Structure 1
Amino acid sequence: MTMSKTRSEASLPVVSLPLPVDVTAPAIARQAVRATLVSLGFDDLAADDILLATSELVTNAFEHGEKPDRLEVEYAEGRLTLRVFDSGSGRPKLKEPSPMAARSRGLQLVHALSDDWGHEPCDGGKYVWAVFSLRRADAQA
């Protein structure tokens, strides 16, 4: 897997990572997001919620989106955006899990951890996104 970076206007490079179509996708995505956050100067405490949301978004794409495609990470103006692309046409639904259910809490976690989240159709499927307000360590000094 190789990460590519593209420069978008008034932001840091967008990191784009192809995702495998197997159970390793969440771990690979977390490693890429962690490396991106470290390179941007974020500490581990800020990263924990983002890494958990990354796992949930990629797992949902793997389990419900028919085929995960790629992950994008973008940081601009104090906001970090994760986008997970998949080939599914189904719309993600935020549902209340049963207290006894062992699963079905992924989007509840993303909803609780992020400032905002949603989904958009795109060529070949859709992407699910989550936004986090963050300030780089060097901007907090």
Structure 2
Amino acid sequence: MPATPPRTWECHLHLTNDPRAPRIARHTIRTALLDYGNSPELAAMAELLTSELVSNAVKHSDGPLSVWLHTGTGVIRIGEMDNDPELPNSLPCTTDAPFGRGLSLVQAMAARWGRYRLTDSKVVWFELN
């Protein structure tokens, strides 16, 4: 009989600022959520929103970044920290824009999201229920 997963658990991922970072983060988050019995739909949503956060970090920062996943009772929180202290703002979504939809997707799909500045870095996070 398989062991029952803990009610709360965490996963931390440290990445270099590299174009492969979003793919690595997507795969890690999706695999962790599926391995702990979350639905494929929830894992896919978390994967997409994680990719958006990490892609923004790779584009706008110049150093390493961290991604973490924390599960609590009924809540999944995923965050990203990088060395660019500038807080991101969502851009207006237009059909002809080549980029800029990331935070709009996070705002539309996440139960909650936020961002805050640290001394020389920032954190952007979201929650899914």
TM-score greater than 0.5 by the shorter chain: yes
Aligned residues: 124
Which residue number in structure 2 is paired with residue 47 of structure 1? 43
* CA shift for structure 1 position 108: 0.6
Deviations 1:45-100 (A, max 9, x none): 22111110010000011112333411000000211001101000111102213331
Q: Which residue of 101, 108, 120 maps to 1:112?
A: 108
> Does residue 60 of the first structure (1) align with residue 76 of the second (2)?
no
Following TM superposition, the consecutive aligned residue runs of length 4 or more in structure 1 with deviations greater than 4 angstroms are none
TM-score, normalising length from structure 2? 0.88
Which residue number in structure 2 is paired with residue 25 of structure 1? 21
Unpaired segments ≥5 residues, structure 1? 1-9, 134-141
Q: Which residue of 105, 118, 121 maps to 1:122?
A: 118
> Does residue 132 of the first structure (1) align with residue 113 of the second (2)?
no
Question: What SS does structure 1 have at the residue aligned with 2:94?
Answer: coil
Q: Quick one: distance in 2 between partners of 1:67 and 1:116?
A: 27
Q: Quick one: distance in 2 between partners of 1:91 and 1:70?
A: 16
Q: Quick one: distance in 1 between partners of 2:42 and 2:26?
A: 14
CA 1:95–1:23 in structure 2 vs 1: closer, same or farther (change >3 Å)?
Answer: same
Does the 8 Å CA contact 1:114/1:132 hold for their aligned counterparts? yes
RMSD of aligned Cα (Å):
1.7
Does the 8 Å CA contact 2:85/2:118 hold for their aligned counterparts? no
Identity %: 30
Question: What SS does structure 2 have at the residue aligned with 1:63?
Answer: helix
Does the 8 Å CA contact 2:13/2:66 hold for their aligned counterparts? yes
* CA shift for structure 1 position 11: 5.3
* CA shift for structure 1 position 121: 2.0
CA 1:101–1:87 in structure 2 vs 1: closer, same or farther (change >3 Å)?
Answer: same
Does the 8 Å CA contact 2:84/2:122 hold for their aligned counterparts? yes
Which residue number in structure 1 is paired with residue 87 of structure 2? 91
